[in-house]
């Protein structure tokens, strides 16, 4: 991902966001449609017509990707799984599921919902294109409909490749899981296949670049890198979930964190706290010890240097909210997911308006590494 996702709207209770990387692919797809695809399919039209077709085609295609991910989310909800939302990014979209399905059957059905939705859309667009031809509809609209049918069919086919974390890889994992009764082993096998498929895409992309098809080759290499990295990280995420399963934030928090008085200047904050402790976030408290919020190095960087000695920490501090605070009884994996979602490595642990500790990403990962090391030693 290239930055903090931009929230667009909410549908059926799911928040829909776009990653900044989405704008890159949106421009590329629109340009490809308007200058290559539709001129080849429908000759003799004006540049304005092709660009209108390109814009319409790309917007409806991304709507199709959204419907693909929405189908995953709706089916997951029927199995009682919380879905945080849907994010569109440079390689398509992802339905954000904070925990794994609980049974092989639920995994299979949830994974199958996306390709099935794309297949249905392919048939719908193809059918509308045929209806447009039969009733003498405008040729540009018919061309867009037919091509959208092809794209949705290709999207379904690509996602059915048995390479994790693609939908086909999840289908394979569900079958292996049901067969061997071992989710970890099923994930390891399907992730290894996904990693191999990613390498294959990179190799094919390299050949494409070498033979002169630079754009398609580069795109294939990027997709291959994404699939390979996603396959590896998905397996690590499963191990992490298993390691933190049943653990609460209280297990890992530091109960005596460094705090900053609200009345000191930003200049004092930098010299006496940031340079001394090297943290990126500090809790801010009032004279009675009540938690007011937190101040980060990012906020300091955004403040002009000549205002450091005039601005107080209390005026700069961000208020406490669910993005930077967590309760001691919160599941540790939920806290880790919050860190990933917000891009922070430290959370304030609170009880009402009182600060009772600090949770750091470093401590969670250190525990995970130690637990994996001990399990490997026990198996060896």
CA distance 250 to 314: 27
Domain shared by 36 and 157, yes or no: yes
Domain with 326 in it: what CATH number? 3.10.580.10
Residue 220 lies in a domain: yes
Domain shared by 41 and 59, yes or no: yes
Domain shared by 223 and 258, yes or no: no
Helix axes 183-210, 214-244, angle to 10 degrees: 160
Contact 323, 338 (CB under 8 A): yes
CA dihedral sign, ordered 265, 268, 274, 279: negative
Contact 146, 126 (CB under 8 A): yes
- Domain residues for the domain of 354 are 249-368
> Over 60: is that where the pLDDT of 380 sits?
no
Domain shared by 76 and 189, yes or no: yes
> Over 90: is that where the pLDDT of 75 sits?
yes
Residue 231 lies in a domain: yes
> Over 90: is that where the pLDDT of 52 sits?
yes
Domain shared by 145 and 206, yes or no: yes
State residue 183's pLDDT score. 85
Helix axes 214-244, 361-379, angle to 10 degrees: 80
Tell me the average pLDDT across 302-323.
88
Q: Which of these three, 229, 244, 259, is where a domain ends?
A: 244
Residue 142's nearest CA partner among 42, 73, 58, 64 is 42
Domain shared by 159 and 259, yes or no: no
In tens, the pLDDT along 192-217 reads 999 999 999 999 999 988 888 887 78
Number of domains in the chain: 2
Distances from the Cα of 119 to the Cαs of 12, 37, 142, 161, 261, in angstroms?
22, 21, 19, 14, 59
Residue 280 lies in a domain: yes
Domain shared by 232 and 301, yes or no: no
Distances from the Cα of 134 to the Cαs of 127, 130, 230, 345, in angstroms?
11, 6, 45, 59
In tens, the pLDDT along 332-357 reads 888 887 887 777 888 999 988 888 99
Residue 151 lies in a domain: yes
pTM of the predicted structure, to 2 decimals? 0.76
Most confident of 92-96, 97-101, 364-368: 364-368
Contact 330, 275 (CB under 8 A): no
Domain shared by 180 and 34, yes or no: yes
Q: Which of these three, 244, 279, 302, is where a domain ends?
A: 244
Domain shared by 101 and 176, yes or no: yes
Domain shared by 120 and 141, yes or no: yes
Residue 224 lies in a domain: yes
Contact 135, 204 (CB under 8 A): no
Residue 378 lies in a domain: no
Distances from the Cα of 88 to the Cαs of 62, 94, 110, 166, 213, in angstroms?
8, 7, 19, 15, 27
Confidence of residue 44 (pLDDT cuts 50, 70, 90): confident
State residue 342's pLDDT score. 76
Residue 103's nearest CA partner among 174, 199, 30 is 174
Q: Which of these three, 220, 244, 268, is where a domain ends?
A: 244
Share of the chain above pLDDT 70, in %: 96
**Token pair in block for residue 113:** 């919902």
Domain shared by 20 and 92, yes or no: yes
Domain shared by 47 and 100, yes or no: yes
């Amino acid at each position: 991902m290239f930055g903090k996702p931009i929230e667009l709207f909410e549908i059926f209770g799911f928040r829909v966001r776009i990653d900044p990387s989405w704008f890159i692919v949106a421009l590329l797809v629109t340009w490809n449609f308007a200058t290559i695809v539709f001129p080849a399919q429908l000759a003799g039209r004006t540049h304005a017509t092709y660009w209108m077709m390109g814009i319409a085609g790309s917007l409806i295609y991304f709507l199709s990707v959204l419907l693909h991910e929405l189908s995953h989310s709706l089916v997951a909800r029927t199995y009682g799984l919380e879905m945080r939302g849907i994010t569109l990014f440079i390689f398509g979209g992802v339905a954000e599921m904070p925990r794994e399905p609980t049974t092989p059957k639920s995994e299979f059905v949830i994974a199958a919902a996306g390709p099935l939705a794309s297949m249905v859309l392919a048939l719908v667009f193809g059918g509308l294109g045929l209806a447009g031809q039969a009733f003498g509809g405008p040729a540009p609209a018919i061309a867009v409909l037919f091509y959208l049918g092809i794209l949705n069919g290709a999207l379904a086919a690509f996602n059915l490749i048995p390479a994790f974390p693609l939908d086909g890889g999840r289908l394979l994992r569900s079958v292996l899981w049901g067969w061997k009764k071992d989710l970890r082993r099923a994930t390891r096998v399907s992730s290894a296949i996904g990693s191999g498929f990613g390498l294959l895409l990179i190799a094919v992309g390299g050949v494409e670049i070498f033979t002169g098809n630079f754009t398609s080759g580069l795109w294939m290499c990027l997709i291959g890198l994404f699939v390979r990295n996603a396959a590896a990280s998905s397996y690590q995420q499963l191990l992490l979930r298993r390691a933190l399963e049943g653990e609460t934030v209280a297990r890992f928090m530091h109960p005596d964190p460094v705090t900053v008085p609200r009345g000191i200047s930003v200049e004092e904050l930098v010299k006496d706290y940031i340079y001394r402790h090297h943290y990126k976030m500090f809790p801010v408290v009032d004279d009675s010890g009540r938690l007011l919020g937190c101040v980060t190095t990012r906020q300091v960087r955004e403040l002009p240097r000549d205002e450091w000695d005039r601005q107080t920490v209390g005026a700069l501090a961000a208020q406490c909210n669910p993005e930077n605070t967590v309760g001691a009884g919160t599941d540790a994996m939920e806290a880790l997911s919050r860190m990933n979602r917000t891009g922070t490595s430290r959370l304030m642990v609170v009880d009402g308006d009182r600060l009772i500790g600090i949770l750091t990403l470093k401590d969670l990962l250190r525990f995970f590494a130690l637990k994996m090391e001990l399990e490997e030693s026990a198996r060896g």
